[in-house]
Amino acid sequence: MLEGFFNPKAVAIVGASTHEGKIGHILVKNMLKHGYKGKVFPINPKADEILGLKAYPSLREVNEPIDLAVVAVRPLDVLDVIKQCGERGTRSVIVISAGFKEASSEGARLEQELKRIAKNFGIRILGPNCVGLIDTASKVNASFALGMPEEGNIAFFSQSGAMCIAVLDWALGQKIGFSKFISLGNMADISEIDMLIALGEDKNTRVILGYLEGVNDGRTFMQVAEEVSRKKPIILIKSGTTSAGAKAVSSHTGSLAGSEVAYQAAFKQSGIIRARTITELFNYAIAFASQPLPKGPRVAILTNSGGPGIVAADACEDSYLQLARISSQTVEKLRSFLPPMASFYNPIDIVGDAHVDRYKKALDILMADKDIDATLVLLTPTATIEVDETAKTIVEYAKNKKKPILCSFMGDVQVEKGIRLLKRHGVPNYLCPEDAVSVLEKMWQREHWLSSPRKEYPQISADRSRVRYLLEMAKREEHFHLTEDRAKEIFKAYGFVLPKTKLARTKEEAAAAARSIGFPVAMKVVSPDITHKTDVGGVILDLKSVKEVKEAFTEIMLSVKSKVPKAAIYGISVQEMIQDAKETIIGFTHDPQFGPVIMFGLGGIYVEILKDVTFRIAPISKQEAIEMIREVKSYPLLRGIRGEPAADINALISGLLSLAQLALDFPEIIEAEINPFLVRSDQNGAVAVDARLTIRRE
Amino acid sequence: MLEGFFNPKAVAIVGASTHEGKIGHILVKNMLKHGYKGKVFPINPKADEILGLKAYPSLREVNEPIDLAVVAVRPLDVLDVIKQCGERGTRSVIVISAGFKEASSEGARLEQELKRIAKNFGIRILGPNCVGLIDTASKVNASFALGMPEEGNIAFFSQSGAMCIAVLDWALGQKIGFSKFISLGNMADISEIDMLIALGEDKNTRVILGYLEGVNDGRTFMQVAEEVSRKKPIILIKSGTTSAGAKAVSSHTGSLAGSEVAYQAAFKQSGIIRARTITELFNYAIAFASQPLPKGPRVAILTNSGGPGIVAADACEDSYLQLARISSQTVEKLRSFLPPMASFYNPIDIVGDAHVDRYKKALDILMADKDIDATLVLLTPTATIEVDETAKTIVEYAKNKKKPILCSFMGDVQVEKGIRLLKRHGVPNYLCPEDAVSVLEKMWQREHWLSSPRKEYPQISADRSRVRYLLEMAKREEHFHLTEDRAKEIFKAYGFVLPKTKLARTKEEAAAAARSIGFPVAMKVVSPDITHKTDVGGVILDLKSVKEVKEAFTEIMLSVKSKVPKAAIYGISVQEMIQDAKETIIGFTHDPQFGPVIMFGLGGIYVEILKDVTFRIAPISKQEAIEMIREVKSYPLLRGIRGEPAADINALISGLLSLAQLALDFPEIIEAEINPFLVRSDQNGAVAVDARLTIRRE
């Protein structure tokens, strides 16, 4: 995919310049000086020759095929260039020029026009307002960035040109190799989604890195990301996560920033690894690019000094990893050649006077041990250490690629050469053991994610036509906040159990209803005009006798009429009180990028005060529903503490799945919540006691 | 303090060696080649001359004063050297030699002997088993580390020799300047506490860094650290925090690792800044060493590109810092010279084609703005940027030292020279804007800590002789887990209010007791042999009538006698039930290093399931008690939600203070807990309903 961009046989630079330092000059220079073997055509009506190449007044004058055009002319002139490309059959265009959506409303209009023209001709556009792209395999450097990275198997794309420039400059200094380097700019056409697909297919790319400010089509993004994640790791920085950040995003690229919660859920669900900083991004990347994934969480730490060993052990314990238990056989083997003051348990401390042979013998044993999934080698530059020899030895063991080896050679001057050697042979090294551990943790999490079964989305049967009818009614009546009754009927159509309920218009009807339902009962006013019933004295709970029911009827009526005199009152609903059940809340809101975001939490203060909730983007699989339930800190309350029976987790799972299905089936529902959703013990089901549902005003 | 170590006029190297590469050789070389102006006496019975210096067979043959002896002989020979030092009046000795406490039980005995001899002579010892020390002002390099750091105002001490070596080597590469560099080794004498005092007084040291595995005297450590923290920042890495780490510590230096919770509280209470990694340690250090503290949390971000600006804004919002609101006056000033596509709000984006003049004008405005407490300058190496000029400009503004300026020049190759210039002039630069933000956050937290009033520990009046008597009784009876009654009496002596209670030996006594207390009541078995009363059916709550009380009496007696037939039963306690109160738990445990650790949390699941608790080391000030209460996530429940009245916070504060006092007054109490400690609303006090107390077996 996007072959015309990454592997063009001929490239035109439209807006090529004779002036050193100008972008149009740098573009030509970059195409020439990094080993590109194809043809380069500078286009400039005022020049005969640029950097030794014949210059053409326009694309029309080039009588040879051009696969890729790189455009750096004034924004107003861009449209004409696109047309020329279309007419001559050039189907890949990078628009470097700025002055579009990011600049002004005229710019935005111009960008729309650009999109339209490109689409008509079947042209793919990268940009506008971008730095360009680099492909180290084909030696294409169609960017105005300074420098060309070494060849490697890491790809990087960015929604921020500045990040591209900064990361490239940093990577040049760090000598990190890249397969491709892409600045997406305004994404008039090619987006982060296209890039994920292209990089997923690219045989030169083993790890995909990206800097993301937002996505437009969250659903497709997730689907593509999950597909690609199964083949190679995607590691992203997502900025614009907080409200302040979000403000800056919208004034920056005009893209809408989705809420942090939705992105967190989306990344988790599609296997994307999130990095918080550029340092973290590359800490992860270099390991994923060169090392196999660990098959389990058990880590052995091999060190020539105590302090760093402790630091690494601490970090392991704080992570999802485990310190491998060293078996007595392995201890015996280690004891056979290590001095008595060494430590044979994890961390394995071969002590300060260790030469390379101790590292070698220990690695021999650890790499063969089936109870160890990954090895972390620490080295402090003591007086006796042979840094380079040790590095060479580690490289040998890393070659078989069966288990990951990560290193922390600590220091700088003394260990520099050894570290260079490790890096050159694909063994990642980190200044701090903690960083190495956090990288290993991500690798183990990826292995775990890859080995979990593909998600299955269960079929949810529901009376959809009933829901359609109810929503239609609500829209006609302009009741965008549905009445409780109607909301509950909708949930009922999706298989939710409601409490036994009867509508009473008089005291006597209420008493009769209560008798037939069975005591205790709850009573709630029914009115399309009242959303928060409790606030107006419209709810009384736990009524235990006919007398109490009748009194409650009068009390509710008086209170509601005095507080909301204009509300239409349909009557009072008499409801079964659900006893001995756990209070939970399930609901969803609509994220502009990702669609329905499903929430789960335990009711009352757990949600309100402790914010002990969890989210997923719909659709959710059964496994994801289970994860949601287990993820909240208050989960032990559902499992049952102090001899209590466990809550009916299956009913909760069904509830979450049905809710997600409802959200997907009827996108006009922008918010819905069942609160409380009372979950009984064991296999006794769950009851939707109260419900709210809001539809979009059209 | 420790002048003999840091500024000796003459130094002897005992165990000096003629062999290149040997520690005894490196020690002499290090003393000679880094500019030390004092005298150096190599001691070696077999050599005439070492590195051009006359060698002496023993210390006795040196007829000149020696301030400092550096000892690197076999462990068995060390004692004799110490004696020689004592006899000739050398009062400062660094013992490099290993083979003491860390190696074996004989080594430990040797170390005890070493301590005893040194103490007799009034000799201070650094080590044994250490790398030595470096003082860049006096040019003393009494270590076998390779290399000498540049002069600077950062001091580093370490309980791990390996960390010393690694950090020194790294700092050499990074060209970080140091005042002093100290390896503490086994701390037979000089400990981290002595070092904090010495570095606190040292005029060349502005920032104190350390790597800590554990402290022995937690109380003194905290007192000293707090005193020193008021003068200069102390930034520490503490390892051995998790159970796995802790195991490694005890097998490593033999020091006892305190619990993570106690260290967290101790660091917080004494103003110590904690770093998680070496990178973080120096990220903080270079800023504290050169920049003033911000007077408030309001940060302005100045950037030439959007992406990094967003990243920095996100990080600010996630921290205790704030994005400064840019006033309309400031916006007007910015607008007067910035292009229209710039952003005048925070982050202030002077856009990609910015030259140095835009940075200069913007800094002019931001540095003068009273609504801005700190400035973060971001730079992406765009084509037009003047990196070095911009760095020079920033350095000029940083010179006035009124507000901190931190930078993130992003990249490597293009920005290298500029970053070097910044660093040389004390302007910290970070690869990632997030790192700069997290450093600024620590600076603001320190300013906040410094400006908070000194702690005052209130006088708690208590009937201490009564408590002494009760504890004495318990010890005599060997009831190390006190009976509930006795525990409660102890709390009562410290001003705690107990529920009205009467002991009943018969059904009839129970009924009479309940009538006089008022219904409802609780009933609990009283037995010195039963700690968990509920488990044996020894507790029944909420008894509302004489009939219920009598039945409960029988039920409890039957249950307890059948489940614990051998338990001595004193009777059944009839207790007032406290209604409409919030359930809290207060208690303390005894940390081996820090003494009593006070705990607070809301009762029931908040403590048990959600682990929503907080800790402080006793003594605690009133302000610390308030912080504890506010720190738990469930605090809103105490403040009152949904129109409930607030709980009596003052009663809770008093309770915490009294509890801390009890813990300090009677160190033999190793564990105590009031659970539940029921806090009534407003000014209605709190009641200690149930209490446990354990004393040390002697």
B480: CATH: 3.30.1490.20
The pLDDT, as a whole number, for residue B241 is 61
Output the domain CATH number for residue A670: 3.30.470.20
Domain-embedded: residue A493: no
Parallel/antiparallel/unpaired status of strands A49-50 and A53-54:
antiparallel
| Maximum distance among all Cα pairs of chain A, rounded to whole angstroms | 102
Q: What is the mean pLDDT of residues A372-392?
A: 93
Cα gap A87→A81, rounded to integer Å: 10
Q: Is residue A519 part of a domain?
A: yes
B669/B524 same-domain check? no
* Alpha-carbon separation of residue A446 from A277, A295, A615, A677 (angstroms): 19, 10, 20, 34
In a domain, A482, yes or no: no
| Inter-chain CB proximity B245 and A310 less than 8 Å | yes
Are residue A262 and residue A360 in the same domain, yes or no? Answer: no
Q: Same structural domain for residues A304 and A340?
A: yes
CB contact under 8 A, B605 and A634: yes
Cβ-proximal residues to B402 (8 Å cutoff; 6+ apart), any chain: B292, B367
CA atoms of B437 and B299, how far apart (whole Å):
9
Distance separating alpha carbons of residues A164 and A129, to the nearest angstrom: 13
Residue among B204, B233, B291, B154 nearest B450 (CA): B233
Q: What is the distance between the alpha carbons of residues B90 and B99, in angstroms, rounded to a whole number?
A: 23
Put simply, whether B251 touches A (Cβ < 8 Å) is yes
Tell me which residue of B679, B662, B594, B640 sits closest to B256, measured CA to CA.
B594
Q: Dump pLDDT digits (tens) for A547-593.
A: 999 999 999 999 999 999 999 999 999 999 988 899 999 999 888 88
Task: Check residue B254 and give its pLDDT.
Answer: 26
Q: Do the domain assignments include residue A587?
A: yes
From its phi and psi, is residue B481 left (phi > 0), alpha (psi between -120 and 50) or beta?
A: beta
Residues A197 and A283 in one domain: yes
How confident is residue A250, by pLDDT bands cut at 50, 70 and 90? very low
Of the candidate ranges A251-255, A515-519, B356-360, B409-413, the one whose mean pLDDT is the lowest: A251-255
Put simply, the answer to whether B605 touches A170 (Cβ < 8 Å) is no
Q: Residue holding tokens 């007696």?
A: B557
By the 8 A CB rule, do B396 and B369 touch? no
> Is beta strand A68-71 parallel, antiparallel or unpaired with respect to A92-95?
parallel
pLDDT at A241: 61
Total Cβ atoms within 10 A of residue B536: 19
* Closest residue, chain A, to B169 (C-alpha): A411
pLDDT tens, residue by residue, A321-372: 999 999 999 999 999 999 988 999 899 999 888 889 999 999 999 999 999 9
Q: Is residue A241 part of a domain?
A: yes
Cβ contacts of B239 on chain A, cutoff 8 Å: 307, 310-311, 314
Is B458 a domain residue? no
Task: Mark whether B34 and B116 lie in a shared domain.
Answer: yes
Name the band, by pLDDT with cuts 50, 70 and 90, for residue A640: confident
- Predicted confidence at residue A454, as pLDDT, reads 84
Tell me whether 0.90 is exceeded by the ipTM. no
Q: In terms of CA atoms, which chain A residue is nearest residue B98?
A: A352
Under DSSP, the state recorded for B355 is -
Which residues are CB-neighbours of A12 under 8 A, at least 6 positions away? A40, A41, A42, A43, A56, A59, A62, A66, A68, A69, A70, A90
Across the interface, of B104, B279, B383, the residue whose CB is closest to A26 is: B383
Q: What is the pLDDT of residue A525?
A: 93
Note whether A410 contacts B170, CB cutoff 8 Å.
yes
Contact A587/A691 with Cβ under 8 angstroms? no
Same domain, B660 and B610: yes
Largest CA distance in chain B: 101
How far is residue B417 from each of residues B386, B405, B420, B434, B675, measured CA to CA in Å? 11, 18, 5, 22, 62
Q: Does B103 touch chain A (CB under 8 A)?
A: yes
- Residue where one domain finishes, among candidates B576, B606, B633: B576
Q: Are residues B380 and B320 in the same domain?
A: yes
Q: Is A595 on the interface with B (CB under 8 A)?
A: no
Please tell me the total number of residues recorded for chain B in this structure.
698
Per-residue pLDDT, B281 = 95
Looking at the structure, do residues A186 and A203 belong to the same domain, yes or no? yes
All residues at 6 or more sequence positions from A254 whose CB lies less than 8 Å from its CB, including other chains: A101, A102, A108, A186
Q: In whole angstroms, how far apart are CA B143 and each of A15, B24, B43, B96, B180? A: 63, 10, 16, 8, 12
Give the count of domains, chain B: 4
Q: Does A579 touch chain B (CB under 8 A)?
A: no
For residues A340 and A309, membership in a common domain is answered with yes
CB atoms within 10 A of CB B535: 11
User: Which 3 state secondary structure label does DSSP give A684?
Assistant: coil
* Cα-based angle B209, B33, B285 (whole degrees, multiple of 5): 15
Kind of pairing between the strands at B49-50 and B39-43: unpaired
Q: How many CB pairs under 8 A join A and B?
A: 268
Kindly state whether residue B459 falls inside one of the protein's structural domains: no
Interface test with A, best of B412, B607, B610 (most A CBs within 10 A): B412
DSSP string, A340-354: TTSB-SSSEE--TT-
CATH for B160: 3.40.50.261
* Domain with B569 in it: 464-576
**pLDDT score at B258:** 45
Cβ(A11)–Cβ(A39) under 8 Å? yes
Say whether both A154 and A30 belong to one domain.
yes
Does any domain span residue B91? yes
- Per-10-residue mean pLDDT, chain B, length 698: 95 96 94 96 96 96 96 96 96 96 92 97 96 97 93 96 92 92 96 98 97 92 97 93 46 40 93 94 96 97 93 93 95 94 92 90 95 97 89 93 94 93 95 95 96 88 96 91 89 95 93 94 89 87 94 94 92 90 91 90 80 91 95 89 86 97 95 92 91 87
Nearest CA in chain B to A172: B413
Give the model confidence (pLDDT) of A65-93 as tens digits.
Answer: 999 999 999 999 999 999 999 999 999 99
A151 pLDDT higher than 60? yes
Of A102, A169, A316, the CB nearest to B415: A169
Interface of B with A in 12-51 (CB under 8 A): 21, 23, 26
**Strand bridging mode A10-14 / B348-349:** unpaired
CA of residue A26 relative to chain centroid, distance = 35
Residue A322 distance to chain B (closest CA, Å)? 10
d(CA B163, CA A153): 34
Q: Is A244 or B681 the better-scoring residue by pLDDT?
A: B681
Same-domain status, A569 and A627: no
Which positions in chain A touch B248 (Cβ < 8 Å)? Answer: 306, 309-310, 313, 343, 347
Strand pairing class (B521-526; B539-543): antiparallel
For residues A361 and A217, membership in a common domain is answered with no
* Residue B382 contacts A, CB cutoff 8 Å: yes
Question: What single DSSP character describes residue B240?
Answer: -
Q: What kind and span of H or E run contains A281?
A: helix A278-290
Name the residue in chain A with its Cα closest to that of B430: A279
Q: Check residue A242 and give its pLDDT.
A: 55
The mean pLDDT of A279-305, rounded to a whole number, is 96
